[in-house]
């Protein structure tokens, strides 16, 4: 009998999660039924309940549902509770337990695939949604020297900065007041703007060539930010495909008690994205 899992979000048809988890399961001979299920904020509760009634044992959650998922959990891990964001659900009895693997996946990708350790670094985080919240706490826990959070709605950035409660190292900034010419080591885009296909715009004429620019999205959704970063002088840019695979591996381990090998999965998906970009 196949175990039932899914990823919920809107939009969701583009998601690589079903392929990722199918490849992970094959490494252990696990029979897995993992699907992408469309759900917006207005119908997420009903769709998730239907999934549970039909035998759903675990789920991933993506835009725009991570904070909503946290509110639905009977219990949350410490890291999910702190950041108020859940991307991994596990069914225990008739309740959902929530966890957040985004931060761990991001740090693992940065350290192992980009040779970037956030410790003692100056970081600019763009966005204040569910994924941004997980990233912010992960950066502070990893020892970042300074974290500036900017969001088009300043109040959301300010609320996140206050929740982290490290005033000597964390500050909120209005989008229109950003000045990154004084040098950040890492700029992370956690906004959803790229999913709408809009051009990326930030009040900055030039980035230091050493600045690493990283988008939490992947593929076409990451292109607007990465194109902007290259045009403004960044020599090292990356999308978030590695983070996607690494956070998925953390989720897989929560559900199945075994952590898969991410390297071949990452290589296969990167090759697929490159091939698709040439069509």
151 is in an annotated binding site: yes
Q: Of 66, 220, 278, 279, which is the active-site residue? A: 66
258 is in an annotated binding site: no
56 is in an annotated binding site: no
235 is in an annotated binding site: no
CB 147 within 8 A of CB 140: yes
Radius of gyration of the chain measured on its C-alpha atoms? 18
The answer to whether 278 is a known catalytic residue is: no
> In what order do the strands lie in the sheet containing 75-76?
32-38, 3-9, 56-61, 88-92, 95-99, 75-76
193 is in an annotated binding site: no
C-alpha angle 223-228-231 in degrees, rounded to nearest 5: 125
122 is in an annotated binding site: no
DSSP 34-51: EEEEE--TTTHHHHHHHH
Residue 22 tokens read as: 């199918």
H helix and E strand count, the chain: 10, 12
108 is in an annotated binding site: no
127 is in an annotated binding site: yes
d(CA 274, CA 276): 5
Residue 242 tokens read as: 């590695």
39-to-11, 48, 62, 68 alpha-carbon distances in Å: 8, 9, 10, 12
Of the candidates 164, 158, 112, the residue with the CA atom closest to the CA atom of residue 134: 164
78 is in an annotated binding site: yes
34 is in an annotated binding site: no
216 is in an annotated binding site: yes
247 is in an annotated binding site: yes
218 is in an annotated binding site: yes
209 is in an annotated binding site: no
Residue 9 — φ and ψ, nearest 5°?
Answer: 175, 180
Within 10 angstroms of residue 146's Cβ, the number of other Cβ atoms is 17
Annotated binding site for NADP(+): 78, 127-131, 151-156, 216, 240
Catalytic residues: 66
Annotated binding site for shikimate: 15-17, 62, 87, 102, 218, 247
Annotated binding site: 15-17, 62, 78, 87, 102, 127-131, 151-156, 216, 218, 240, 247
């Amino acid at each position: 009998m196949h175990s039932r899992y899914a990823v919920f979000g809107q939009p969701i048809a583009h998601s690589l999660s079903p392929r990722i988890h199918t490849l992970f399961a094959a490494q252990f001979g696990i029979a897995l039924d993992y699907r992408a299920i469309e759900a917006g904020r207005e119908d997420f509760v009903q769709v998730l309940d239907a999934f549970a009634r039909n035998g759903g044992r675990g789920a991933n959650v993506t835009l725009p549902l991570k904070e909503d998922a946290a509110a639905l959990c009977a219990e949350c891990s410490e890291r999910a509770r702190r950041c108020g964001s859940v991307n991994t659900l596990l069914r225990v009895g008739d309740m959902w337990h929530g966890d957040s693997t985004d931060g761990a996946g991001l740090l693992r990708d940065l350290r192992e695939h980009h040779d970037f350790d956030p410790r003692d670094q100056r970081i600019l985080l763009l966005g204040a949604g569910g994924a941004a919240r997980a990233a912010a706490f992960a950066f502070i826990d990893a020892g970042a020297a300074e974290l500036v959070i900017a969001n088009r709605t300043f109040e959301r950035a300010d609320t996140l900065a206050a929740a982290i409660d490290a005033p000597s190292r964390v500050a909120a900034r209005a989008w229109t007041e950003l000045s990154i010419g004084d040098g950040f080591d890492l700029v992370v885009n956690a906004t959803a703007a790229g999913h709408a296909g809009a051009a990326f715009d930030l009040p900055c004429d030039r980035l230091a060539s050493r600045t690493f620019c990283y988008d939490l999205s992947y593929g076409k959704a990451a292109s607007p930010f990465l194109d902007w970063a290259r045009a403004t002088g960044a020599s090292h840019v990356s999308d978030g495909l590695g983070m996607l695979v690494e956070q998925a591996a953390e989720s897989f381990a929560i559900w199945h008690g075994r952590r898969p090998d991410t390297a071949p999965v990452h290589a296969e998906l990167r090759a697929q994205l490159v091939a698709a970009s040439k069509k």
